[in-house]
Amino acid sequence: MSNNKKYLFLLTIGPVQAFIAQARKTVDLYAGSKILTELTKTGIASIGRHKIVFPYAKYETEKDWEKVNSLPNRFVAQLSGTESEINQLGKDTEDAIRAKFKSISENALNDAKISTFPAFEQQIEQHLDIYWAAIELGTDYKETYAKLEQVIGSLKNMRQFQQYTYDGIGEKGRKCSIDGERNAIIYRENPEKKKQFALSSHKTTNYKLDEGEALSAVSYTKRAYKAESFPSTASIALMHVHHILKNDGLAKICYKLLSETNDQLFYKENIERKPYLEKTIRESNDNSSLTPNSILNCHENYWKVAEKQGFKSSDKHKYYAVLTFDGDSMGKWLGGANVNGNLETFHEDFSKHLSAFAKKADEIVKKEVKGYTVYAGGDDYLGFVNINHLFGVLQELQEAYKTEVSNPLATYRKDGKEITFSAGICIAHYKEPLRLVLQQAHTMMDKAKDIDDDKNCFGISVIKGSGESLETVWKNEHIGLLKKITEGLMDREDKDTPYFSDKYIKVLETEFQKLVDEDNKLEKDSSKLLITEIKRTLTRAVNKGSKEEKQKAVKTMGETLDKLHNANLSDLPNFFSALNFCRFMQRELCPKTFFNL
């Protein structure tokens, strides 16, 4: 007599944020995401794709499955067998994932022509946190799933930590340049600072490392991972210029030399720094075609072509955006609190529609080179966006989430509640440390989710090159208002279209910061005064156009500002932070790109 029973199985792979977000370069970030997806695919292959409930894995062909390039770090499956068979399958799956990670790391060493060594092996072996559990599936799928989540949560709370013991030194010594936690064991010498690593566990290589850079086994695995190339922050900031100039013969030649050497050479400030230029040429492995003069000539010729196309100078084009978003109240949706009907069926349909949205999100960002996706898991996303395309990308993603996820699942949504996401955006100078920018984007997403129970918000932070920063948080539906305000500040460089001087924002802010109470709210009866003052300052700030056109522009912009003020989620400073964000965008955006999207 068979003892086979049905089980619900859940496996998670960690650490996620630390593994992906610990990055000095965009390629580190991208590689971390790709490796994590490989590990998840390995686990799913061990279980069997046809048994997976979440995420969606039941593609018709292996070719379709191979095209999936982003997956979350966890999966749920329905299994059938005896208790011992299920336990063995869980252990085998964990072993397969660990073996895959070891294989990826060893390939990184092989490419650098380094033989594996104890320090490297131990850091790799101790990195992954894999938790799995299986519970017998009774008649109540919802109850079983809730218990499964509780068990996994308890296992994570009992995590055990291990000390490194290789060479008897443990954690002593220089730390990794990326993660700052593990010992740095692979490094590249800096010829100007001859500081040797004295320990036998340290290995030297020039493969994919900068001068003086020293990495742990985990960080080096990401750096040396063989994936398609990923653009730098400088390249993303300049993406709109490169796209327009892509068919110009001279620009293509100059682009090739500068981009293959270092994207930061598109900025004259870097060419004028002699030590930086010399270091860049040296790190290019003494390419004979690279000289200070050849680089300078390419730079000048590229921007001469750009100026003919309407790009004024390379003084701008220095900011880019990191965009991250996450499904709202996912615990309630997956746990069934927000769901009508059968939770098991919902899980299957939900995973399928999230998969469709992930593909759509990637297409939206990549279309006409608006940005690049790091990962798109369906319920979460991380990517880079050129700031000229930021407003449009956000609006398209919101619409796509409704079309691909919320609307098709309408029959499951309890009380008609929408399935939504909240986003965090950080706009930063291309030289800002990437890890800081990523942290700030995630911080803004957290702040967006904290606004109220309904969430469905976005938070934006700007880290300026001067060190100054600003933050503002709004409902997703209000991104269009910020776009309109920004458009109103931009001179379209024609004869007739009115635009507003950005000085009106500072005038309003100065006047009304004296009229707020201790909660940063406008004092009673001051709201009407704000609307009156907005109209007056707009009338004085409008430029170009006939009298009738100016009056129409003032009326339209006044209504837009009134809507934004009435929609304000927290306080008057948040309202003015939004206006100052628009002011920043107006100064950094390229009208040629922005108004021709």
Over 346-376, what HEC string results?
HHHHHHHHHHHHHHHHHHHHHCCCCEEEEEE
CATH class belonging to 5-157: alpha beta
- At 551, the pLDDT band (50, 70, 90 cuts) reads very high
Domain ranges of the chain: 5-157, 231-245+309-467, 246-308, 478-597
Q: Comparing 5-157 with 231-245+309-467, is the CATH topology the same?
A: yes
The per-residue pLDDT for range 30-52, each reduced to its tens digit, is 999 999 999 999 999 999 999 99
Overall average pLDDT of the 8-14 stretch: 96
| Rg (alpha carbons) of the chain, rounded to whole number | 27
Mean pLDDT check: name the lowest of 111-120, 212-221, 445-454, 521-530: 521-530
The per-residue pLDDT for range 513-540, each reduced to its tens digit, is 777 777 667 666 666 788 888 999 999 9
- Both tokens of residue 218? 């985990």
pTM listed for this prediction = 0.93
Write down the mean pLDDT value for the chain.
Answer: 90
pLDDT score for 5: 93
pLDDT score for 63: 92
Residues 6+ apart with CB under 8 A from 59: 49, 65, 68
pLDDT score for 569: 58
pLDDT over 70 at 486, yes or no:
yes
DSSP string, 61-92: SHHHHHT-----SEEEEEEEE-HHHHHHHHHH
Nearest residue to 325 (alpha-carbon basis) of 299, 290, 354:
354
Nearest residue to 421 (alpha-carbon basis) of 336, 323, 508, 519:
323
Give me the sign of the Cα torsion angle 530, 531, 536, 542.
Answer: positive
Q: Return the CATH superfamily for domain 231-245+309-467.
A: Reverse transcriptase/Diguanylate cyclase domain (3.30.70.270)
CB atoms within 10 A of CB 103: 12
- Both tokens of residue 436? 């800081």
